[in-house]
Chains A and B, each alone.
Chain A
Amino acid sequence: MNEQKQNEEKQGEEKQSEPRQDEPRRGEVLARMLSLAGEAARGMVSRVRWLIYAERGRRVMTGLAVTGVVAGVVVAQPVCMIEPGEVGIRVNRLTGNVSELHEGWSLLVPQVHRLSRYSLKDQTYSPTRSARATDPAPFQSVEGLSIGVEVNIRYVLDPARIQTLAARLPENVGRDIIEPAIDGVLRRHFAQHTVREIFSTQRVQIQKDISAELAPLLAADGVLVRSVTLGNVDLPQQYRTGMEALLAEELNAEKMRYTLELKDKQVKQSALEAEADKVRREKAAEAAGNEEVIAAKARAEAMRHVLPFKEKEIEQRRLEAEAAKVSRLTLATAEAEAHRIEAAGEADARRKLAESDAYRVEVTGKAASEQLARDAELITRNPLLIQKTLADKLSDKIQVIIAPPQAGGFIAGNLLGQPQGASSSQAVASSATSTQEE
């Protein structure tokens, strides 16, 4: 910077020394020019005479005068236009009056009035020469590193004070007043911070500080600062790489911290869940226990109900057994009585039967003995009747051979009480007995 200034000063000095060398040449030229001017003046006088005295000359002069007036009006433009969002300050050079012109047409007398226009719209300023670290005018950090910062400052002129300030402020307020002031403030502030602070940690603070300093500074010149914005920070490439690595490390450390916090929270969560689970299981166990107790009580109750039922059943069986006993006793008694009656009846019946039998035997015996007596008498009278009867009785199925007894006995000797000899004679005797029974 200092070198530049010195160069400029040298150039200035050189320019001042040039006219002194050209002075003799200039005298010749002046003399030549004076002679030429004399000739021209003479020619002019003749022309003016022609213009005044000749008819045609007067017509030409009138035409020229009219053309000159029209051209003067066109060139001088005595009416000016104030655009919306602008304010015009008109100064009367003769009187020194200052008036404020708002949007619309206004009269502007040439050479009398001077008009200055000021914009009332918001304006922005972004120092383009210091947006990147490689630009011609970068900012400097406290370490002396060149950094580029995209800064955007929005400002507006105070409309109420424009009239008073117009007298002392330059025509281009932005370029001449505001931009240098902003540049100064920015450079001072960035020079107070490290690159890291500008880059990451103190960015907001810096922005606030700049804003806080700029606002009163520019307010004195009738400028209201609306906002200060810091954009991209451009670092030297090498520093940027290191810085990013450092930040990444920090990020990792931060990440680890959060991870640890998360783990810690997870541990706490697990503990809480375990606790909840424990409580839940305790409750479940308690509920299960309760249910078991209830089930046991219900079982005991059911058992209690079964017992009376059992007792009732036993009682009923006892009653049934008693009833059965009584009924069986009664039945047995009745049966015994019936047996007794039956036995008595039977005995009676038997006695009667015996009696009747005895009577019958007696009667039949009597009859038989009488019959025998009659038979004996008959046989006595007719001894051969026995043989005849025997022969009659023996049926024709049995062949009877009446043979002379071997022992000189009679064929039916045993019937007649003779000593027996043959079995055939016995048979005859038995048949004779059966006949008698019949």
Chain B
Amino acid sequence: MLATLVAIALVVQDQAPLRAAPQDSAPRQATLWQGEWLEVRGEKQGFIQVYDHGRERPGYVREHQVRIYRLDEASVPKLQAVVEFLKDTPGAEALGIGYAAALLRAAPASQVGPELFDALGTLADRLARRATSNRTNDVALAAHLDVAASYGVKLVSFEREGRTRVCYDGEAFRRVLALGGSPEARLRAALSLTRPECIDPALNPVARQALDEWRGSVLEQVDGGRLPAYLANRLHLRRAEVYAALSFQLSRRGEAQRGAKASARAVEELARVLKAELTEEDKPAYSMAAVRVGASRHASEPMPEKPGSGPVLELAQGQPGETCLRLVDAKDPKAPLSERCTYGLVWPGSVRRSAQGSAVAVAVQMLEGWTELWVFHQEGGAWVLDALAPAATEPVLGYVELAGFSPDGSRVLVAREALVDGKVKSSFQVLKRETLLPEKSAGSPDALGSFQRWSSSDWRGRTVAVR
């Protein structure tokens, strides 16, 4: 249908009326929204006679409410200029998409480059963001979404954290990556395609892993070296996030080596972020990425040497997907001191023992971004196991890690980081070994003298909590 159109009228105003006759008093046939296309059939008394193929009805619109273009090569520069202008104009997403569609139709194939798809993707992405933000006064939003959908721009919606999130499916961005484009455009495309909040929460773990592997490959297509530092930071943060997730998924499926590699890569990507160049809006993302990396960084930790005597932690396979921890005395390995099975991922490289042998701690990753610290400790001669959770919230994102033991073994130092009420909260605590209740707590390790004195160099060398 569109190919047969010679000239089109692009509606540029919201709520423009389509009249039955070329008079302002004529009945309104339909309400047009910006970005819609109409076929031009003539002109009468200051009105443009048009046919609306979407609604299948003819009518008249005021001349100033539309712009008329011929769909041939002569219109390409004009359309290009408008698309370029609308690309960064908030609120004009539907209009921009309409112009981009007209440009795609008018331009010969040789002139359609990644820039046009970048503009289209940016517009669609912004429209999705606009639909997600819960502004109640945006009356044109629904109509603009319809206009975008009529051009084949697909927006999908998910329910996340009690609200609906609208996301662009990224078709145009895929084309940008396929066609080339500037490093900035490629970065925009990759970041939009790999947005974590646009992942369907109902995905099963296998599909999720496949998706994360694809996200990793998409991010690898962007050359970070040619980007300005603040944009490169975004790339590194997203990569760190994706590799941290992959590390857990791969380790969970038994591919320990690949998991370790992914974990090391995640830590490396986080380390590449230049803190001085972080923009204000990237700081929360930086904290979140750090928590994710912190939660899965144990995957790349080397196995510690086995101690000669004292309690030793042994790992064994339980039910499918279950790991059983068995604390035994090195001298008498047959009688376990304590035993417990878990569906979490136990990181053998994270096992640490206090100098006196009175406490053994190990990191257990329950979820992709949730790592607990399990502490076996002596209480009245018997060994008990206490699981330290990152925070007293729903397990979503957080980790708690062992920072060391006090020289007499009576205190345990832990670093906790978790997402609480949408913000990353860090705390460095000194716990009593018997009860594992916090004795002292501070927002930074410098604020606690004892923490500074007793924290192990091993922890200081590897942690991402101090950044």
- Distance in angstroms between the alpha carbons of A294 and B370 in the assembled complex: 15
Check if B387 sits within 8 Å of A305, measured CB to CB. yes
- Distance in angstroms between the alpha carbons of A291 and B250 in the assembled complex: 12
Q: A297-B343, A302-B389 are in contact. Are A291 and B366 (CB under 8 A)?
A: no
CB-CB under 8 A from B279, the residues of chain A are none
Choose the segment among A161-169, A206-214, A306-314, A330-338 that binds chain B (4+ C-beta atoms closer than 8 Å): A306-314
Check if A302 sits within 8 Å of B392, measured CB to CB. no
Interface status of B393 (Cβ within 8 A of chain A): yes
Q: How far is the CB of A162 from chain B (nearest CB, A)?
A: 85
Q: How far is the CB of A277 from chain B (nearest CB, A)?
A: 16
- Distance in angstroms between the alpha carbons of A301 and B340 in the assembled complex: 12
Check if A298 sits within 8 Å of B206, measured CB to CB. no
Check if A298 sits within 8 Å of B343, measured CB to CB. yes
Closest to A296 in B: B343
Check if B204 sits within 8 Å of A306, measured CB to CB. no
Check if A288 sits within 8 Å of B366, measured CB to CB. no
- Distance in angstroms between the alpha carbons of A292 and B372 in the assembled complex: 20
* B contacts with A, residue count (CB < 8 A): 26
Interface status of A295 (Cβ within 8 A of chain B): yes
Interface status of A299 (Cβ within 8 A of chain B): yes
Q: A297-B321, A305-B372 are in contact. Are A291 and B205 (CB under 8 A)?
A: yes
CB within 8 Å of A: which B368-406 residues: 370, 372, 387-389, 391-395
Interface string of B253-269 (1 = CB under 8 A from A): 10000000000000000
Q: Which of B204, B367, B370, B392 is close to A310, meaning CB atoms less than 8 Å apart?
A: B392
- Distance in angstroms between the alpha carbons of A297 and B321 in the assembled complex: 10
- Distance in angstroms between the alpha carbons of A303 and B370 in the assembled complex: 11
Q: How far is the CB of A344 from chain B (nearest CB, A)?
A: 43
Interface status of B342 (Cβ within 8 A of chain A): yes
Check if A292 sits within 8 Å of B389, measured CB to CB. no
Interface status of B42 (Cβ within 8 A of chain A): no
Q: A299-B367, A312-B437 are in contact. Are A291 and B392 (CB under 8 A)?
A: no
CB-CB under 8 A from A289, the residues of chain B are 204
CB-CB under 8 A from A309, the residues of chain B are 388-389, 391-392
CB within 8 Å of A: which B200-250 residues: 204-207
CB-CB under 8 A from A303, the residues of chain B are 394-395
Check if A288 sits within 8 Å of B207, measured CB to CB. yes
Interface status of B344 (Cβ within 8 A of chain A): yes
Q: How far is the CB of A218 from chain B (nearest CB, A)?
A: 79
Q: A290-B321, A294-B321 are in contact. Are A306 and B437 (CB under 8 A)?
A: no
Q: Which of B204, B252, B322, B395 is close to A302, meaning CB atoms less than 8 Å apart?
A: B395
Among A284, A289, A291, which residue has the most Cβ atoms of chain B within 10 A?
A: A291
- Distance in angstroms between the alpha carbons of A313 and B393 in the assembled complex: 11
- Distance in angstroms between the alpha carbons of A327 and B411 in the assembled complex: 26
CB-CB under 8 A from A424, the residues of chain B are none
Closest to A300 in B: B343
Q: A299-B366, A301-B344, A309-B388 are in contact. Are A291 and B394 (CB under 8 A)?
A: no
Interface status of A219 (Cβ within 8 A of chain B): no
Q: Which of A288, A294, A299, A305 is close to B389, meaning CB atoms less than 8 Å apart?
A: A305
Interface status of B304 (Cβ within 8 A of chain A): no
Check if B372 sits within 8 Å of A295, measured CB to CB. no
CB-CB under 8 A from A247, the residues of chain B are none
Q: How far is the CB of A393 from chain B (nearest CB, A)?
A: 73
Q: How far is the CB of B92 from chain A (nearest CB, A)?
A: 43
Q: How far is the CB of A293 from chain B (nearest CB, A)?
A: 8
Check if B205 sits within 8 Å of A301, measured CB to CB. no
Q: How far is the CB of B247 from chain A (nearest CB, A)?
A: 15
CB-CB under 8 A from A295, the residues of chain B are 205, 367
Name the prevailing secondary structure of the A interface residues: helix
Check if B395 sits within 8 Å of A299, measured CB to CB. yes
Q: How far is the CB of A324 from chain B (nearest CB, A)?
A: 16
Q: Which of B206, B320, B366, B391 is close to A284, meaning CB atoms less than 8 Å apart?
A: B206
Interface status of A316 (Cβ within 8 A of chain B): yes
CB within 8 Å of A: which B97-111 residues: none
Check if B204 sits within 8 Å of A291, measured CB to CB. yes
- Distance in angstroms between the alpha carbons of A291 and B344 in the assembled complex: 12
- Distance in angstroms between the alpha carbons of A299 and B394 in the assembled complex: 10
Check if B395 sits within 8 Å of A287, measured CB to CB. no
Q: How far is the CB of B252 from chain A (nearest CB, A)?
A: 7
Q: A292-B205, A294-B343 are in contact. Are A302 and B372 (CB under 8 A)?
A: yes
Q: How far is the CB of B251 from chain A (nearest CB, A)?
A: 13
CB within 8 Å of B: which A398-433 residues: none
Q: Which of B252, B342, B372, B437 is close to A291, meaning CB atoms less than 8 Å apart?
A: B252
- Distance in angstroms between the alpha carbons of A293 and B395 in the assembled complex: 17
Q: How far is the CB of B416 from chain A (nearest CB, A)?
A: 10
CB within 8 Å of B: which A254-307 residues: 284, 287-295, 297-299, 301-303, 305-306
Check if B393 sits within 8 Å of A288, measured CB to CB. no
Q: How far is the CB of B48 from chain A (nearest CB, A)?
A: 56
Check if A306 sits within 8 Å of B392, measured CB to CB. yes
Interface string of B178-217 (1 = CB under 8 A from A): 0000000000000000000000000011110000000000
CB-CB under 8 A from A293, the residues of chain B are 321
- Distance in angstroms between the alpha carbons of A294 and B369 in the assembled complex: 16
Closest to A293 in B: B321
- Distance in angstroms between the alpha carbons of A303 and B389 in the assembled complex: 9
Q: Which of A288, A291, A302, A308 is close to B370, meaning CB atoms less than 8 Å apart?
A: A302
- Distance in angstroms between the alpha carbons of A312 and B386 in the assembled complex: 12
- Distance in angstroms between the alpha carbons of A100 and B322 in the assembled complex: 99
Q: A291-B321, A306-B395 are in contact. Are A298 and B367 (CB under 8 A)?
A: yes
Q: How far is the CB of B246 from chain A (nearest CB, A)?
A: 15
CB-CB under 8 A from A288, the residues of chain B are 204-207
- Distance in angstroms between the alpha carbons of A312 and B389 in the assembled complex: 11
Q: How far is the CB of B344 from chain A (nearest CB, A)?
A: 5
CB-CB under 8 A from B389, the residues of chain A are 302, 305-306, 309
CB-CB under 8 A from B437, the residues of chain A are 312, 316
Q: How far is the CB of B296 from chain A (nearest CB, A)?
A: 14
CB-CB under 8 A from B370, the residues of chain A are 302
CB-CB under 8 A from B392, the residues of chain A are 306, 309-310, 313
CB within 8 Å of B: which A191-231 residues: none
CB-CB under 8 A from B388, the residues of chain A are 309
Pairs A–B under 8 Å by Cβ, sample size 12: A288-B204, A290-B321, A291-B252, A292-B205, A294-B321, A299-B367, A299-B395, A301-B343, A302-B389, A303-B394, A305-B387, A306-B389
A interface list, Cβ under 8 A from B: 284, 287-295, 297-299, 301-303, 305-306, 308-310, 312-313, 316
B interface list, Cβ under 8 A from A: 204-207, 252-253, 320-322, 342-344, 366-367, 370, 372, 387-389, 391-395, 437-438
**Known contacts A297-B321, A299-B366, A302-B389; 6 further A-B pairs (Cβ under 8 A):** A297-B343, A298-B343, A302-B395, A305-B389, A306-B389, A306-B391
Task: List the 6 closest A-B pairs by CB distance, nearest first.
Answer: A294-B321, A302-B366, A302-B395, A310-B392, A297-B343, A291-B205
